[in-house]
Amino acid sequence: MSETTNLSALRRAANKARKFPYNTCGASRYLHDLADDLAKGNLTLVEDDPRGVAAHIYAVITALWEARSKLEGK
């Protein structure tokens, strides 16, 4: 799987896991927006590997939102 395909899959998984407002918080929504900007190359604050950072953020917020949904039974 290419990096782009993997990043796209991670983004889709995060979007699917997001159940606003039930399993999100301001901090996780901010990270989601940040990951979107990094994935699109819109931010230069991370010069080393912005797409890699975005991939890690997507993975973490997906796990967070899925866990919150499971705990809430949604």
Q: What percent of the chain has pLDDT over 70?
A: 91
Whole-angstrom distance, CA of residue 67 vs CA of residue 52? 23
Whole-Å CA distances, 13 to 7, 44, 46, 48, 51: 10, 25, 23, 24, 16
Q: What is the mean pLDDT of residues 4-21?
A: 90
How many domains would you assign to the chain?
1
Whole-angstrom distance, CA of residue 11 vs CA of residue 7? 6
Chain segment 19-55, per-residue pLDDT in tens: 998 899 999 999 999 999 988 888 767 777 888 888 9
Q: What dihedral angle (degrees, nearest 10) is formed by the CA atoms of 14, 17, 23, 26?
A: 20
Range of the domain at 24: 3-72
Give the pTM.
Answer: 0.74
Q: Which amino acid is at 24?
A: T
pLDDT band at residue 18 under the 50/70/90 scheme: very high
For residue 68, is pLDDT > 60?
yes
pLDDT attached to residue 32: 94
